[in-house]
Amino acid sequence: MDASARRTRDAPIIDRTWERVTALNQFALGGIVLVVCGLLIVSNTQTNFTFFLAGMVMIFTASGIALVVPWSLVPHWWSMALPLIDIVAIGLLRESAPSAGLGTLWMLPAIWLPSQFAFRGLLVSLAAILGIQIWLVVETLGEAFSVDTVLVPIVIAAVSLMTHATARRSGAQRLLLRKQSRMLEGALARARRQEMTVTQVLDAVDFGVIRITADGEIAMMNEAQGRLQVRDRLDIGAEAAVSLGAGLAGSATDETSRMDVYGEDGVTRLMPEERPFARALRGESLESEVLWFGEPGTPRRALSVTIRRLNDADGSNDGAVLVLRDVTAELSAIRSREDLVASVSHELRTPLTSILGYIELVLDDDTLQPSSRRGLEVAERNANRLLAIVADILAASTSGGAMAGLSIDPDDANLADIVRASVEAFAPRAAERDLVVDTGGVEDSMAYIDAARIRQVVDNLISNAVKYNRDGGTIEVSCTSDGRNAWLVVRDTGVGISQEELPRLFERFFRAASVRNTSTHGSGLGLSISRDIVRMHRGELTVTSEVGEGTTMLVRLPVHPRRKGIA
Asked if 505 and 474 count as a contact pair (C-beta separation under 8 A), the reply is no
Residue 422's nearest CA partner among 387, 472, 460, 383 is 460
> How far is Cα 214 from Cα 474, in angstroms, rounded to an integer?
61
Divide the 567 residues of the chain into consecutive groups of 10 and give the mean pLDDT of each group: 44 59 79 79 74 82 82 76 80 75 75 74 72 62 52 71 75 84 89 83 78 79 70 47 34 45 80 80 80 78 84 78 82 75 71 83 83 82 75 60 63 92 87 90 91 88 88 92 92 85 76 57 72 89 88 91 50
Q: Taking the model in full, what pTM does it have?
A: 0.44
Q: List strands edge to edge, sheet with 474-481.
A: 436-442, 474-481, 485-492, 550-558, 540-546
Sign (positive or negative) of CA dihedral 300, 301, 304, 305: negative
* Sign for the pseudo-dihedral over CA of 411, 416, 419, 420: negative
Beta bridge partner(s), residue 545 = 551
Give the C-alpha separation, 436 to 438, whole Å: 6
Question: Can you name the residues that pair with 235 across neighbouring β-strands?
Answer: none
Residues 6+ positions from 28 with CB-CB distance below 8 Å: 108
Helices 81-96, 17-42: inter-axial angle, 10-degree rounding: 10
Interatomic CA distance for residues 417 and 442, integer angstroms: 9
What does each C-alpha distance from 381 to 359, 385, 431, 471 come to in angstroms?
A: 10, 6, 18, 22
Give the gyration radius of the chain's Cα atoms: 49
- Name every residue whose Cβ is closer than 8 Å to that of residue 450 and which is 6 or more positions away in sequence: 408, 409, 410, 411, 537
Count Cβ atoms below 10 Å from residue 394 Cβ, excluding itself: 19
Per-residue HEC secondary structure of 168-197 comes to: HHHHHHHHHHHHHHHHHHHHHHHHHHHHHH
What's the pLDDT at 311? Answer: 80
Of 267, 259, 234, 260, the C-alpha closest to 249 is 234
Please provide the distance, in angstroms rounded to a whole number, between the alpha carbons at the two ends of the chain: 85
